[in-house]
Copies of this chain bind each other. A is one copy, B any other.
Amino acid sequence: MSTKPTLHTSVSPALLHLYDLSNSVVVIIDVFRATSTIAAALYNGAKAVIPVDSVPKAIEISKNIGGIAAGERDGQIAEGLQHGNSPLEYHREFIEGKTLVLTTTNGTRLLQMALDKNADTIISGSFPNLSVVCDFLLKEKKNVILGCAGWKDRFNLEDTLFAGAVIHRLKNEFTIHCDSSLMAETMYAKQKNNLIEFAPQLTHYHRLVERFGLIEDIKFCLTNDVANVLPVYNDGKLVTS
Whether B177 pairs with A157 at a CB distance below 8 angstroms is: no
**A179: CB under 8 A from chain B?**
yes
Q: Does A190 contact B (CB under 8 A)?
A: yes
How many chain copies does the complex carry?
2
Chain B residues with CB under 8 A of A160: 179, 183
Stretch in A10-18, A105-113, A229-237 touching the partner: A10-18
Minimal beta-carbon separation of A103 from chain B (angstroms): 22
Interface range on chain A: under 10, 10 to 19, 20 to 34, or 35 or more? 20 to 34
Q: Tell me, rounded to whole Å, the shortest Cβ–Cβ distance linking A218 to chain B.
A: 15
Whether A11 lies near B11 (C-beta < 8 A) is yes
Nearest residue in B to A206 (C-beta to C-beta)? Answer: B177
**Bound complex: CA A201 to CA B160 (Å):** 19
A183 / chain B contacts, CB cutoff of 8 Å: 155, 157, 160, 183, 187
- Pick the contact of A203: B155, B178, B206 (CB < 8 A): B178
Nearest chain B CB to A188 CB, angstrom units: 11
Report the Cα distance A160→B203, complex, angstroms.
Answer: 18
Sample of 15 A–B contacts (CB below 8 Å): A14-B14, A14-B15, A15-B153, A15-B154, A18-B154, A154-B179, A155-B180, A156-B179, A157-B182, A160-B179, A160-B183, A177-B203, A182-B201, A183-B183, A186-B187
Q: Identify the A interface with B (CB < 8 A).
A: 11-12, 14-15, 18, 152-157, 160, 177-180, 182-183, 186-187, 190, 201-204, 206
Task: For the A-B complex with A155-B183, A177-B206, A183-B183 known, give 15 more contacts whose Cβ atoms are closer than 8 Å.
Answer: A11-B155, A15-B15, A15-B155, A18-B153, A154-B180, A155-B180, A157-B179, A157-B183, A179-B202, A179-B204, A182-B201, A186-B187, A186-B190, A187-B187, A190-B190
